[in-house]
Structures are given as structure tokens and as C-alpha cells.
Amino acid sequence: MTTTSTLRRALLYVPSSSQKFLSKSLLLPHPTDNITYDLEDSVIPSLKPAARTNLLTHLSPLSKPPPNVGELAVRINAISTPYALSDLTTLAPLPSSTLSTIVIPKVNSPSDLTFVIDILRQVSNQNEPPKKLIALIESARAVMNLKQICEAGKGYLDGLIFAAEDFALDLSLTRTPSLREFLYARSAIATAARAFELSSTVDLVCTSYKGEEGKARLEEECRDGKEVGFNGKQCIHPSQVEIAQRMFAPDEREVEWAVRVVVADEKAQVAGRGAWTMDGKMIDAPVVGKAHSVFAKAQKCGLDVDGLKEKWQGQEPE
């Protein structure tokens, strides 16, 4: 059963059919929360068996992810394909310390998850933590089944990902820069993930990544995703990772506010005050809860919250 929250501000796909990309994935210049080796969309059918073998050869010597990578995952093929079972039986026996997470595409119903869970129970080492699962939500049917999908994955499911292109295809939608056409589905996914206390809600791919225009577009999409309730972004190029991780980390002003609230609330608690003010605004239990959440996330993102806490040690509840 998953018990700790995993940071996935960026989920970087790496095609497993390319030995060059597999090798380069261990030498990325910037820290990366997640690398997801892909056996699905980026691999043509004739290369899928070879890609699976490539990935097994690539991962087998590793006892854990490289120092600058938070976790290693694999996106298997959809359960409806003839490739998924071999993907699972080949790769799931790898130690969870090496390959900790399995991303499952086209999860339309609870049975898609329970199929994977049943296989994991048969082929995984029972003496180590189980693999975490992340479900890709790609259709209208999947959105309508979110509650049942999350219930079926209890103890294994750790996140949801929104796949915009397949969803647009399913509903005959045209993707626009505003992303307005996806608002209902994205809100439903973010809400379900929070309701079932999943670590991750990973937003759609930004297909622009070249030049200043691509960077600006990515920042805009990350900002929008964060406002909807997502806490990470799918990335298709290493150049997107730094931007996504910066955008989905608390910003400097947000962290400073959270530290001030946490410091002042400790003093308010000693004084028996359940509500107080700071900068002329009321601070009560929900606001304090948000501050502690931002504080904890800032710590996980490697921000200097201890230094800020020392700076604001004199903050008093008004």
C-alpha cells in the first residue's frame, strides 16, 4: 500500500525503442522527479518486443535510480493490446527500488486496473513494497468511471494523468490554446485524485517545446494546470523538465507566506487562539492547513524553508 506522497512535478517520457535515449536518460543535466520509459505511443508495433528487451537490459544493472532522478517508471501498452501481459511479466519482477512505478494507458474501467494488480501479485517480489500505479485517463468513459477506477486501485493507485489528445479524439474535439474544451475532464480528474488522496495529478502534454515561444507556452499551460488542481506535467523533451518543476513548485512569495503562517500559528496555539490575523487577513484552520501543505511541498522541492523560518522567527499572530 502506498503511504508516502511522491513528487512528480515533471513526468518525462523516454522512448524505450531508442538505445541512445535510454543511455542519455541516466545523464540528464538537471534533477528530474520522474523518468517514464515508454513502451506505448512512441514505439511502433514491430519494435515493441525489442523495446521491452532493451528496457529490461537497461534497468537490470541498476539497484536504484541515478542520484538526480526521483523515480523510474514504465508506461506499458494498453491492457486491450497483445503486448501488455508480456510488458508486465518481463518488467514487474524488477526490484521496486529500481522500477517503482507502472503507468497504465487507456484505463477506461476498474477491470483495467485489477488486471494489472492481479499480475503484479503473481510476478512481483512479495518481500518488498508493491509497485505504484498511475492511470492515464483518455476517454469520456474513463472520466465517468473515475470513482470506480480509484476505488479499484486502492493500495496501488498513486496518481492520474490526463491524456488530452486521445480524449479529444474520443469526443471529436479540437484542442485550442485556451484548453477550455478540456476543463470538465481536467477538473474531474484533479478532484478525484484529491478525494482518494493520490500523490499525483499529471496534466496534459505541451506539444510546444522549441524556442522562447515554446517555453512561454509551457509556462502558461503549467500555470493553468496548477490553477485547475494538477501538481505535475507530462514532458516529451528534457528541456521541458526544469520549467515544469519550477512552475509546479511553490514560488518564493508563496513559501514565505506559508513559513510566516506556520511560525505565527505555533505561537497562536500556545496562546489558545484558533483564529487570528496576519497582514489584515483572518487565519483559521483551513488556511493554516494550506500553509503546512505548502511548507511540506517546499521542503520536498529542496527549497530553503529552514532559512526562511529562521528569518521569520519573530512573526507574531495579530
DSSP secondary structure letters along 44-107: -GGGHHHHHHHHHHHHTT-SS--TTEEEEEEE---TTSTTHHHHHHHHTTS-TTT--EEEES--
Torsion angle of the four alpha carbons 144, 137, 131, 15, in this order, in degrees rounded to the nearest 10: 170
**223 carries a ligand binding annotation:** no
- Cα separation, 206 vs 240, in Å, equals 9
At a CB cut-off of 8 Å and minimum separation 6, what does 191 contact? 229
Q: Where are the alpha helices (DSSP H) in the chain?
A: 19-25, 48-59, 84-91, 110-123, 140-144, 146-152, 164-171, 183-195, 211-228, 241-247, 252-270, 285-300, 305-311
**75 carries a ligand binding annotation:** yes
Q: Within 13 Å and on the Cβ side, how many CA atoms surround 269? A: 8
Helix (H) or strand (E) holding 33: strand 32-38
Residue 130: Cβ within 10 Å count:
18
**306 carries a ligand binding annotation:** no
Closest CA to 109 of 74, 144, 75: 144
- Cα separation, 135 vs 117, in Å, equals 12
For 214, the grid coordinates are 515554446
Residues at the annotated binding site?
Answer: 75, 138, 166
Residues at the annotated binding site for Mg(2+)?
Answer: 138, 166
Residues at the annotated binding site for substrate?
Answer: 75, 138
